[in-house]
Chains A and B, each alone.
Chain A
Amino acid sequence: MIVCEDLSKHFGNIKAIEEFTIKIPDGQIFGLLGPNGSGKTTTMRMLSCLINATSGKAFIDEYEIGRKNDNQKIRSMIGLLPEVPGLYETLGAYKNLDYYAQFYNVPKNKREKNIRNMLTNLDLWERRNDPVGGFSKGMKQKIAIARAMVHEPKYMFLDEPTAGLDPEAAKTIREYILDLKSKGRTFLINTHNLAEAERVCDTVAVVKNKLIKVGNPKELARGLFTRTVCVTLDYIPSSLVKNISMLDVVSQVHADGNKLFLNVNDPETDNPKIISWLIKKKLNVQFLSEEEYSLEDVYLKLIGEDDQ
């Protein structure tokens, strides 16, 4: 488990992150969302024992970040994908991965097996000995991800894992992450790709130099937005909007074409009442669905509110 308690980092007068408190249970994919300069990378670097916190504490399992004897143990438990791949460009993909695996004491046979599996999964096995300097940005990113995972760490910190990847490669990486998650690995992912975060993250934290909100993407949306039911009718009489707004279960209503959008507090209880009322009015209900708010809506609302 990863625990941050009031973790802060200041660079001189600049407060990169303030009083950041989260808990990431084992086996979860935790997304850190926030605009550029919001402290996501700083947080990841603190958790990777690369920089020291100004105040607060953080723990990975029983080890405390920043404590000299624990730092090395933490670094042996994590795999880090930084913002920039940072590969050794004159060396081949295989050697790039092999040297890193050796730092983690991965036995030779296992190293060979892991590297072969990873490069095969990422469609790079055939080019394993080519200098990576000649690779595309996406290919380099794949190797950097493989490097973070080559020693099969318990915790993986990925900064923008699918940035610069084509959709197919991004899908491969996502599936790879989900596969590792199913094997009990824990991920902390910094991303601007909200759709991706929504797809893979169990929990997301929206940060802007402090923690703004943390939770499951769907729960966050429910907490932020009133739930909206969309009713599609064969036609909408002119008086309908005014009449239906009289119902006590409906807080707000508007029509768009033959669709009626109703804000309700509890659709599970209120929808039957609304349908009954419409049937009584001899209106034909074609479809009934709940309007979904994306993580992007949640993110923009949270960041917007914070700006105000």
Chain B
Amino acid sequence: MRWKNAWILARKDIDEFKKQKLVIGSIIAMPLVLGIVLPLVMFVPAIAMAPLEDTWDINGLLEIGDFEGDHLDPWTNQTLQNISLNSTVIYYTVLKNVDLHDCVLVSCIVENSTLSNSTILNNIIEHSQLNNVFVSHSEGIELDGKNILSVNSDLAFTKTKESEAAAFLPMALNTVLMLFIIVPATLPTVIASYSIVGEKNNRSLEPLLATPITDGELLAGKILSSFLPTMISTIFAFVLSVILIDTIFFTQLGYLPLPTLTWILSILLLAPLACLMSILACVLVSSKVTDVRAAQQVGGFVIMPVIVLMLGVVSGFILLSPLTILIFAGIYCCIDLGLFYFARAIFNREDILVKWT
């Protein structure tokens, strides 16, 4: 296969598309809608309605009353470090790196410790783990744990609960990602369906077939001419979309949610393969029918494997992950190869020329 010949044919076709403003316009407009308008419509209202920040309640944390700041500062006279205590009452002590079970702590300073099934009164607690504890008139920072009953205390935990925006994000991003796979699969169907039957109708196929171009080169050229504009505009839209989504969510999340590995694999692997699958099927149909409308009608069925993926993702049956993307990419790749060899095998110059409309 001489790729040069395929490239010449693809350039010729792309030159022709450029003259058809509506065709090229639709190829550019669709991804732009997808990349800019859709994120704006989907995410901005969701973000506007979501609360700005929501502190995480540690599982089982129950806060009763307000901390009024009227507790006594703990008075310390000794320090305990690196020990483990059970069923002990501790007063006025600095505790560092201790492991306490079933204890009562009164007016202590606790650092880097673990407290379980204990009562904590009038303490200052830092960098500690609290499990099944009652806390009263105390202050705490950088805490973690579960089942905490807090009364008149001011406790700050290291973890925060997922914001509504963060909870909403994965499903919304998956939907957008699916569209980035569906659009390159649907966008080229019209031009790919037209590729060979259009040449046939224009009567330009006979002189083209009389050149030294081979069947494989001809098919490759026709595929390239549909593939390149579609994927270029899709990747351009993808970049815009990533920038836009990151801009929208950065203030909410404090990090950039995109691009993830799943997204990168999807856009660089799955979307091109889905696009190729659609084009191959349309070109194949285009070489066998005698009418552009018939080619487009039949070509409409080709995005079914992509629809299956989308339905699976939206329904939650398929979880999107790099592995899932690689598995689907493998399936699409096999279908693409099969379609290409099948299209080349059934491509018959005589049939195409003799069976004019």
- Chain A contact residues, CB within 8 Å of chain B: 11, 45, 48-52, 72-73, 75-76, 78, 80-82, 84-91, 95, 99-100, 102-104, 131, 144, 147-148
Contacts and interface: CB of A to CB of B under 8 A. Distances in A.
A26 B15 CA distance: 38
Interface in B298-357: 349-350, 353-354
Contacts of B209: 50
B12 interface: yes
Contacts of A48: 210
Q: Give the interface SS of chain B, mostly helix, strand, loop or mixed.
A: helix
B2 to A, nearest CB: 9
Contacts of A103: 5, 8, 211-213
Contact of B8 (A51, A99, A131, A147): A99
Contact of B19 (A78, A84, A86, A91): A91
A50 B12 contact: no
Interface of B: 5, 8-9, 11-12, 15-16, 19-20, 202-207, 209-214, 349-350, 353-354
Contacts of A87: 204
A276 to B, nearest CB: 61
B16 A76 contact: no
A104 B349 contact: no
Nearest to A82: B206
B206 A104 contact: no
Which 4 A-B pairs give the minimum distances between C-beta atoms? A90-B19, A86-B203, A80-B210, A86-B204
A73 B212 CA distance: 7
Contact of B20 (A45, A76, A90): A90
A204 to B, nearest CB: 23
Q: Give the interface SS of chain A, mostly helix, strand, loop or mixed.
A: mixed
Contacts of B210: 48-50, 75, 78, 80, 82
Contacts of B207: 80-82, 86, 100, 144, 147-148
A144 B203 CA distance: 12
Nearest to A72: B212
B202 A86 contact: yes
A50 B353 CA distance: 8
Contacts of B213: 103
Given A80-B210, A88-B204, A147-B207, 12 more contacts: A50-B206, A50-B210, A52-B350, A72-B212, A75-B210, A75-B212, A80-B206, A82-B206, A82-B207, A84-B206, A86-B206, A131-B19
A114 to B, nearest CB: 16
Contacts of A102: 8
B354 A51 contact: yes
B61 to A, nearest CB: 70
A145 B9 CA distance: 20
Nearest to A16: B354
B123 to A, nearest CB: 82
A89 B214 CA distance: 24
Point out which of B210, B212, B353 has the most chain A C-beta atoms below 10 A from its C-beta.
B210
